[in-house]
Amino acid sequence: MATPSSTLAGKRILLGISAGIAAYKSALIVRLLKQAGCEVRVVMTEGAQAFITPLTLQALSGEPVRTSLLDPEAEAGMGHIELARWADAILIAPATADLIARLVNGMADDLLTTLCLASEAPKLIAPAMNQAMWRHRATQRNIALLAEDGWQPIGPGAGDQACGDVGPGRMSEPEEIVTSLFDRLASSAMTAADTRNRHVVITAGPTREALDPVRYLSNHSSGKMGYALAAAAHAAGAKVTLISGPVSLATPSGVTRIDVTSALDMHTEAQRLAPTADLFIACAAVADYRAEHVAEHKMKKRGDSETLTLTLVKNPDIVAEVAALAAPKRPFVVGFAAETRDTQDYARDKLTRKGLDMIVANDVSQAGLGFGSDDNAAWLLWRTPEGVESDTQPPQPKSALAETVIQRAFDLLDTSSSMSLSPTPPGAS
């Protein structure tokens, strides 16, 4: 495991432990955190105490272990609120299916869930359970919802399980968990001075291009990736405006949302807001064409005709127009490319042709990734003064990919601001 940065020494970590055989690994997590210079306080559920004793964790952490919400001594001074405010980060390892279900429903029926509800600190969770329980649709739905709420899942891994089954559900190893925690804390560190005054504008979801009062042209975009980006940008401390096409998603906490329907609507809002932005992310799946004429009334079948001819006209290229803005109105511009073949070739072409600073490309033909799914994989491509660099992101929750994209964009924005990196003009080779 890489040695954590010295800037992370002294971080206050609240470790939650729920009932699972993997609880024995939590002792090593405490040890690793202490070796890194963190302060550690442990909170155990009632069931966790059947697998590892509070005394063991007290000896390793050097702090009393909390096990009850109704501890008269601790709660004399509203101890659970004090503990929630104390934490720089909350890590739950292991997290059972039951605990995950209670967290996603906002329950506060024991000390650990109450602390999670009362704390605004970054939260990470390491699931551990039987492979069938992990694969169950309810658990997959719950972990996806937790990720949308800002939790960062770690793992689980796959392999032999205590029950004799083989498959996914093993808690990730302590070293991997601690590394993920350090990465999250390092990412969260760029709040305050780095992002407090930054404005991020993001487009998300599909557009609908009317044919008549009943019908329209659209696509399969659910908006999940764009909304995850908005949540990640807000978590990084930025002011976020989300220009959203028609989706059935809740607005991320702290994000200003502007609803639009058509590509022309989205174009109008993007042109209005882009000059106020430091970072513009075009994640929406904007229709390339719209009907030349929208019928005033519902179109009817025309006798015995087997065909219907529609004349379509090109919609404005929103991201290219934003990228073509002149300084100082031009933000740092990130585009998306959803492809079904030759993903990297098309992404390189789009990066150059549209004058973007960075592009996130994904193959939406892969099962379980892209449109409508909770996971995504991507190829990140960006320009630097030295040329073009890239990075491959494997399949992962969209919330995790969003954090990577936002971190990368902010890092590049810092570099371009300090070095006055000029964009490649559209059409340049």
Q: Is 354 annotated as a binding residue?
A: yes
Instruction: Encode 79-117: b = buried (16+ Cβ within 10 Å), e = exposed.
Output: bbeebbeebbbbbbbbbbbebbbbbbeeebebbbbbbbe
Beta-carbon count within 10 A of 2 CB: 8
Q: Is 286 annotated as a binding residue?
A: no
Q: Is 317 annotated as a binding residue?
A: yes
Give the integer Cα–Cα distance in Å for 330 and 308: 42
Between the alpha carbon of residue 10 and those of residues 34, 93, 185, 219, 262, the distances in Å are 9, 20, 12, 49, 50
Q: Which residue has the tokens 């924005």?
A: 413
Reported residue count of the chain is 429
Q: Is 360 annotated as a binding residue?
A: no
Q: Is 51 annotated as a binding residue?
A: no
Q: Is 318 annotated as a binding residue?
A: yes
Q: Sheet with 89-95: list strands edge to edge.
A: 39-44, 12-17, 89-95, 123-127, 152-153
Q: Is 332 annotated as a binding residue?
A: no
Q: Which residue has the tokens 């000390």?
A: 111
163 is catalytic: yes
Contacts of residue 24, Cβ cutoff 8 Å, sequence gap at least 6: 51, 52
Q: Are β-strands 123-127 and 12-17 bridged in parallel, bridged antiparallel, or unpaired?
A: unpaired
Q: Is 336 annotated as a binding residue?
A: yes
List, as residue ranges, the binding site for CTP: 288, 298, 316-319, 336, 350, 354
User: Mind telling me the catalytic residues?
Assistant: 163
List, as residue ranges, the binding site: 288, 298, 316-319, 336, 350, 354
